[in-house]
Structure formats: C-alpha cells, structure tokens
C-alpha cells in the first residue's frame, strides 16, 4: 500500500510540473484519493506468556533490557540508545533522546522519530531496582576488564562496553523465546505487548500514546483500538443505567 501512495505522489508532482510547462491542462492525479494506510498490530504476549518470559530470563545478561522493553514499550533502538545519563534512579525515570540503529554497515545514533518520541518515561519499581543492579554489574565488568573496556556510557553494552548491535539482539531474543517454548518472536513485539497489556489493564489511551511516543493519539487508536472494546461496552452500560435505570 505504501508503494501505491509513493507512486501516486511522484505522478502528481510530475503532472503538476506538466501543468506549469503547459504540456497538460490539468493534474488528473489530484482528482484521485490515496489509498488509506492500514496499520496492523503485531502479535502480543498474553500476561501469562509475558510472566513466563521474564521467569525464563532470570540471570540472563539481557534480563533488564527485555524487562524494560516489555514494561514500557520502548522501541528497540530507543532502549539500545539509552545512556546512564538518561536514567534518573531518584525519580524512577528514563529520558528518551536518541535511537541506536545500524546504517550502511555500522552502528549509528540518530534523533528520535518525532517530537513526541522525545519523552520521559516512568519506570516500574522493579525495573528501577534492576537497572541499579545492572549498573553495579557493569561496573564490576569494567574493573575486571581494565584498559580493554570501552567506556561508551551506554546502559546496555557488550562484554567490552561497546553498544549492542540491533541485529544481534534480534538473534538473541529469538533464542530466548525458543528456550521459553514461545516460538519465534521479534523484540519489536515486546512494544506491541506492552501497549496491549497497559490498555487491557485500563490505562487511558492518551497515557499509553505518550508512553509509546506515538506521533498522535489517533495512531495509537488505529493500532490498538480493538482492545478498548470492553471500555466502550462499559460506557454503554453506564449510560443505560443512568438514562434508563428501570
């Protein structure tokens, strides 16, 4: 669908230029409507699967990383791009300022996708404590490795201090999920799972949208609106009780 939209856009621009040159009398592409982009929700873990995954991860080097992603819905690049300066243990928050990506064969940092993506997120108490413990473990690794350690400032690193490659994370997560007998999953599905679990627990969609860093509430509703069905049913029941009590 996105390909069709791009073709229409290019054609419309070309015809606009043709009108200016006098080659054509009108831009017929402007009379058409672009196809609506449909957003698809990825698979989501059930609460039972999510808890089982966390149990399986106990003692794993990336345990804290996955717990953070599952509980907050951070994008993979946002989580890997976190530095210790972004973590405020006193307030129990992390600030999302950048993404770590792989571009042209090498790792690179770039700004978050939109202004709403630059945000501060409150963390569950358990994740705050896990991050504190993770920092202690990382400091111990740094001391043991000595001069070979590369002090990059990232929260989640390799055994020598370098940032984690997103591709390696994909492979690692697949192995972890298979070990947990969950099948093949992608780290991004932790984001979908977080959103679904929050909405199912009654968190307002406006809040979920802010936590996820979506560009608009409408985007959140388009992807996860079906989860709000019980809320709509409750609203209808409440109005029935108010207007027609008998």
CATH code 1.10.443.10 for 47-186:
yes
Q: What is the pLDDT of residues 1-10, one digit of tens each?
A: 456 667 777 7
Q: What is the Cα–Cα distance from 77 to 70, expressed in whole angstroms? A: 14
Taking residues 67-92, report their average pLDDT. Answer: 97
Higher pLDDT, 134 or 108: 134
What does each C-alpha distance from 187 to 101, 235, 236, 240 come to in angstroms? Answer: 14, 35, 37, 43
Taking residues 208-222, report their average pLDDT. Answer: 90
Beta carbons of 117 and 96 less than 8 angstroms apart: yes
Higher pLDDT, 121 or 1: 121
Q: What is the Cα–Cα distance from 131 to 124, expressed in whole angstroms? A: 11
Q: What is the pLDDT of residues 134-155, one digit of tens each?
A: 999 999 999 999 999 999 999 9
Beta carbons of 210 and 202 less than 8 angstroms apart: no
Higher pLDDT, 234 or 171: 171
pTM score: 0.78
Higher pLDDT, 4 or 193: 193
Asked whether the predicted pLDDT for residue 123 surpasses 80, the reply is: yes
Average pLDDT, the chain: 88
Q: What is the Cα–Cα distance from 21 to 23, expressed in whole angstroms? A: 6
Model pLDDT, residue 35: 64
């Amino acid at each position: 669908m996105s390909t069709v939209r791009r073709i229409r856009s290019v054609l419309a621009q070309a015809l606009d230029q043709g009108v200016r040159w006098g080659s054509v009398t009108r831009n017929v592409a402007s009379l058409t409507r672009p196809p609506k982009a449909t957003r698809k929700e990825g698979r989501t873990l059930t609460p039972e699967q999510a808890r089982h995954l966390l149990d399986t991860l106990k003692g794993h080097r990336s345990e804290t990383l996955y717990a953070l992603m599952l509980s907050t819905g951070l994008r993979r690049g946002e989580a890997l791009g976190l530095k210790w300066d972004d973590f405020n243990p006193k307030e129990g928050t992390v600030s999302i300022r950048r993404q770590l990506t792989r571009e042209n064969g090498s790792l690179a940092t770039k700004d978050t996708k939109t202004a709403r993506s630059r945000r501060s997120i409150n963390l569950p108490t358990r994740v705050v404590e896990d991050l504190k413990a993770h920092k202690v473990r990382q400091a111990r690794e740094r001391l043991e490795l000595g001069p070979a350690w590369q002090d990059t400032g990232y929260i989640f690193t390799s055994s020598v201090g370098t940032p984690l490659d997103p591709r390696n994370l994909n492979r690692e997560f697949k192995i972890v999920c298979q070990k947990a007998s969950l099948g093949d999953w992608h780290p991004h599905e932790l984001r979908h799972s977080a959103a679904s679990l929050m909405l199912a627990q009654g968190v307002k969609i406006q809040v979920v949208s802010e936590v996820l860093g979506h560009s608009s509430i409408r985007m959140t509703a388009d992807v996860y609106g079906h989860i709000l069905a019980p809320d709509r049913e409750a609203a209808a029941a409440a109005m029935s009780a108010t207007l027609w009590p008998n």
